[in-house]
């Protein structure tokens, strides 16, 4: 193994094992070294311009980690957030991602994205940061996600929102008042309240 490859591996390790091409180059890895490592199987290409050390354990949530690394300003939302919080039986076939209304459309070939535009007030609240596969991933917390599901019920299905609320309600420490507060922020308090009261 060349010293350039070993140096590059150490740079990857310092960044949790995953780097975008531009960040790898900015950290001092030569493009020739980067592509040689890819061709030798020492790096796994997760998506265009995103590489991960092959020596690391398999990713538990490769799609979420990839999206978070490529689109750091986004927040995992709706079906993807429900799945992360284990509040749905739905299997997301796309990564559901919230972006501010003014953000540019992300260019990502894989994984497939379903982008939702949120107002500033709705976008900025209820964000939790989780480390998933050594990557910081922004995900709306369960209470904010429930409010969002009722707001976007015409797109994801009211049945999905109701199922998630029931699953959440059955958990110890469920914070229904917090769900209502987020519903107020998302301007769906009148929609959510009857379902919350019915679940009490």
Q: Residue 94 has which token pair?
A: 């796309």
Spatial CA neighbour of 64 closest among 158, 156, 159, 133: 133
The arrangement of strands across the sheet holding 43-47 comes to 18-20, 50-53, 43-47
Identify the helix (H) or strand (E) that includes residue 160.
Answer: helix 158-169
- Cβ atoms of 108 and 71 closer than 8 Å: yes
Q: Is the confidence at residue 5, as pLDDT, over 50? A: yes
Model confidence at 169, pLDDT cuts 50, 70, 90, reads confident
Q: Long-range contacts of range 41-46, CB-CB < 8 Å, 24 or more positions apart?
A: 42/5, 42/9, 43/12, 46/18
| pLDDT the model gives residue 58 | 67
100: three-class secondary structure by DSSP: strand
pLDDT digit string, tens, across residues 122-147: 888 899 998 877 788 899 999 999 99
pTM: 0.69
| Cα distances (angstroms) measured from residue 12 to each of 25, 42, 56, 131 | 11, 11, 11, 16
Spatial CA neighbour of 77 closest among 133, 132, 151, 136: 151
Q: How many residues appear in the chain? A: 200
Q: Is the confidence at residue 91, as pLDDT, over 60? A: yes
pLDDT digit string, tens, across residues 39-75: 888 888 877 788 888 887 765 577 888 888 888 889 9
| pLDDT the model gives residue 76 | 93
- Cβ atoms of 60 and 34 closer than 8 Å: no
Q: Phi/psi at 82 (nearest 5 deg)?
A: -60, -45
Mean pLDDT of 17-30: 87
Identify the helix (H) or strand (E) that includes residue 161.
Answer: helix 158-169
Q: d(Cα 74, Cα 98) in Å, to the nearest integer?
A: 6
Q: Is the confidence at residue 7, as pLDDT, over 60? A: yes
Pairwise pLDDT comparison (77 vs 1), residue with the higher score: 77
- Cβ atoms of 87 and 167 closer than 8 Å: yes
**What's the mean per-residue pLDDT of the chain?**
85
User: Would you call the peptide bond into 111 cis, given omega within 30 degrees of 0 as the criterion?
Assistant: yes
Share of the chain above pLDDT 70, in %: 95
């Amino acid at each position: 193994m060349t010293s350039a490859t070993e140096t590059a591996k150490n740079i990857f390790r310092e960044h949790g094992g995953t780097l975008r091409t531009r960040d790898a180059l900015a950290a001092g890895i030569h493009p020739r070294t980067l592509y040689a490592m890819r061709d030798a199987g020492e790096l796994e290409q997760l998506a265009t311009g995103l590489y991960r050390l092959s020596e690391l354990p398999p990713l538990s949530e490769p799609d979420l980690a990839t999206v978070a690394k490529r689109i750091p300003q986004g927040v995992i939302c709706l079906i993807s957030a429900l799945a992360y919080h284990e509040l749905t039986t739905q299997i997301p076939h796309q990564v559901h991602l919230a972006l501010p209304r003014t953000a540019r459309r992300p260019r990502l070939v894989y994984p497939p994205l379903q982008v939702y535009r949120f107002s500033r007030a709705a976008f900025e609240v209820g964000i939790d940061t989780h480390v998933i596969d050594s990557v910081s991933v922004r995900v709306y917390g369960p209470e904010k996600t429930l409010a969002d599901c009722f707001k976007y019920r015409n797109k994801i299905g009211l049945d999905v929102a109701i199922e998630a609320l029931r699953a959440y309600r059955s958990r110890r420490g469920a914070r229904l008042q917090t769900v209502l507060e987020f519903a107020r922020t998302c301007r769906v308090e009148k929609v959510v309240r009857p379902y919350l009261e019915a679940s009490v």
